[in-house]
Amino acid sequence: MFSDNLISKEDLIEYKELTDQSLKELDLAKTQLVKKLEECTNENYTLEMGKKLKDFLSLKDLTSQVLHSLVDKITCNSQGDIRIHYNFVNPFQE
């Protein structure tokens, strides 16, 4: 488009910068997903998760200690959407 004089050099540079930023964000997301996948396939992760679930299911009361062992943090955005960040990969997260 630049060589056909359909866009200016400034537009080309801006488009390239936006594309580069998108690629960086996608690469970061990929790295995070690969890390989560490795955690899920790690035998120790599976054993630890099974232990936490077994301990959790055998409890009659949910204490703050149990809650803190399962949940890293809870966030809420300006639209009121609540997101729970678990200490493990959330199987219910899309």
| 44-78 tens-digit pLDDT | 777 777 777 776 677 677 777 777 777 888 899 99
Q: Write down the pLDDT at residue 27.
A: 95
- CB 86 within 8 Å of CB 70: yes
Domain boundaries, the chain: 1-41
Backbone angles phi, psi at 43, to 5 degrees: -60, -40
pLDDT at 24 over 90: yes
Nearest to residue 86, comparing CAs of 26, 39, 29, 25? 39
pLDDT at 83 over 80: yes
Say whether pLDDT at 3 is over 80.
yes
Residue 89 has a pLDDT of 60
The mean pLDDT value of the chain amounts to 81
Predicted TM-score of the model (pTM): 0.43
